[in-house]
Chain A
């Protein structure tokens, strides 16, 4: 596998020998080592069940919520081993967006954006809150659509709007990395296009890691791509290179639609 590690200068995240097993001995992610470049979009691709979501969820230690999931290996985020970070701090630095839009149904749009602060018991001045809400909603190009309905429940928005609200919720915390787990799989093509455009603009300020099983999506917006198969990292490189001249036979077969 070692030939796959691209040594990147000053990576925002470097993963070394990461393995995740559900039941003892059954590995969902096997010995993955990779560096993630700052201010880029990195796509994790692969057929379903290849471990791409599992890899993503290891980054913010989401697996700790469940018993029987064992994680080994090291993840260094911004020069710090995530194992030694309190999960509270880690999850502030690595915001997450889920497959299906999941705004909190009991909170207004406004409260959803600052939910992170509310949940973490951080008290902000009204003006600070207003500023964060407006900035985050502008960042996801939702501000003009919802500025008059900020105090309504977020669940009344369309699916695409809800997902952008969820991205705003992650942005409000100014994370280093944004982890997105197939964020457009429940959306229509127009909403998907909006989110893709958004991700490209967001990389100016953030690092984006995107799990997708949609190859054309990866081709459209990602700078780097990771191809995973059966828990292993098969290939990693510039998206352009991987799509034009894949080095591994499995990558080639996947990209040409032989399986997946």
Chain B
């Protein structure tokens, strides 16, 4: 065999490793989740009990699915006006200027802050501030966690929509200006419609990130194993329940946590695939 062939085989082999890792992940999660699904059936997904008492163990994932969806949707809604403004600042209003460079770097830096540092800041700075505004439960709960999550996804949402906004051809914008439109009219009638699907894809991907965030949420959501009954009530997300129940888990409880991990894996997988699919179609 000549060296070229061996090289090609090595290249192919390394890509097998990736496929093997991904396949192994699905296999291990499914295998680990089987005891939970055997005991509780499909009802595991729709049950809202979480009872670890020996002998009457009963676990359901609904409170955490609900908590995850509520916090992530709220985070998305909070981040939307902020990241959209920042992307207009970078991609349209101050495009190519020094100011845009500074703002862009700062937004990038937001992505570099570790989740646990966001959690600390949320706990020691944001939470007391919100308590001062009259937030119940010492400031723990869905709302506080969502604000921190919103800040965490801002850099992703901003850079993705900024990229798409920059791609809108200049000649389209000039055509609108030549008809007398003001800058904001150009933005809302030309730029946003042309960039719409790309911007939506960016927000879908950011939403996918919010779904899986763990530490900051764990430190702020209040860790109550119930379905949150409002923005200011406490709760738990799929990621946060794994983080704070894992230490004492074995047997059925461990299997239930792995099952929650499997569900989280599937949900984020679908969301990410959807976002990437839209972006791929655009290119």
Q: For chain A, give the interface size range.
A: 20 to 34
Partner of B189 from the list A67, A99, A118 (CB cut-off 8 Å) is A118
Closest to A60 in B: B178
Let me know if B177 and A116 touch, CB within 8 A: no
Closest to B190 in A: A104
Let me know if B176 and A119 touch, CB within 8 A: yes
Report chain A residues within 8 Å CB of B180: 87-92, 116, 119-120, 173
Report chain A residues within 8 Å CB of B171: 98-100, 102
Let me know if A91 and B189 touch, CB within 8 A: no
CA distance A33 to B4 in the complex (A): 70
Q: Which of A4-27 contact B (CB under 8 A)?
A: none
Report chain A residues within 8 Å CB of B57: none
Report chain A residues within 8 Å CB of B189: 118-119
Partner of A116 from the list B174, B179, B193 (CB cut-off 8 Å) is B179
Q: Which of B75-107 contact A (CB under 8 A)?
A: 97
Known: A102-B172, A106-B193. A120 touches B185 (CB 8 A): yes
Is B169 on the interface with A (CB-CB < 8 A)?
A: yes
Partner of B194 from the list A96, A106, A115, A169 (CB cut-off 8 Å) is A106
Let me know if A104 and B179 touch, CB within 8 A: no
Is A193 on the interface with B (CB-CB < 8 A)?
A: no
Report chain B residues within 8 Å CB of A99: 171
Q: How far is the CB of A97 from chain B (nearest CB, A)?
A: 8
Q: How far is the CB of A188 from chain B (nearest CB, A)?
A: 20
Report chain B residues within 8 Å CB of A100: 171
Main secondary structure of the interface of B (DSSP, over half): helix
Report chain B residues within 8 Å CB of A170: 178-179
Interface string of A78-114 (1 = CB under 8 A from B): 0000000001111110011011101011110000000
Closest to A95 in B: B178
Q: For chain B, give the interface size range.
A: 20 to 34
CA distance A91 to B190 in the complex (A): 17
Report chain A residues within 8 Å CB of B178: 60, 62, 91, 95-96, 98, 170
Report chain B residues within 8 Å CB of A104: 172, 175-176, 190, 193-194
Let me know if B169 and A115 touch, CB within 8 A: no
Closest to A179 in B: B178
Report chain B residues within 8 Å CB of A36: none
Which of B177, B180, B194, B196 is packed against the most chain A CB atoms within 10 Å? Answer: B180
Is A65 on the interface with B (CB-CB < 8 A)?
A: yes
Report chain A residues within 8 Å CB of B181: 88, 119-120
Known: A104-B190, A106-B193, A106-B194. A119 touches B179 (CB 8 A): yes
Nearest 4 A-B pairs (CB), nearest first? Answer: A96-B178, A106-B193, A119-B181, A91-B180
Give B contacts to A, CB under 8 Å: 97, 169, 171-172, 174-182, 185-186, 189-190, 193-194, 196
5 further interface pairs, Cβ-Cβ under 8 Å (given A119-B189, A173-B179): A91-B178, A102-B172, A105-B172, A107-B193, A169-B175
Give A contacts to B, CB under 8 Å: 60, 62, 65, 67, 87-92, 95-96, 98-100, 102, 104-107, 115-116, 118-121, 166, 169-170, 173
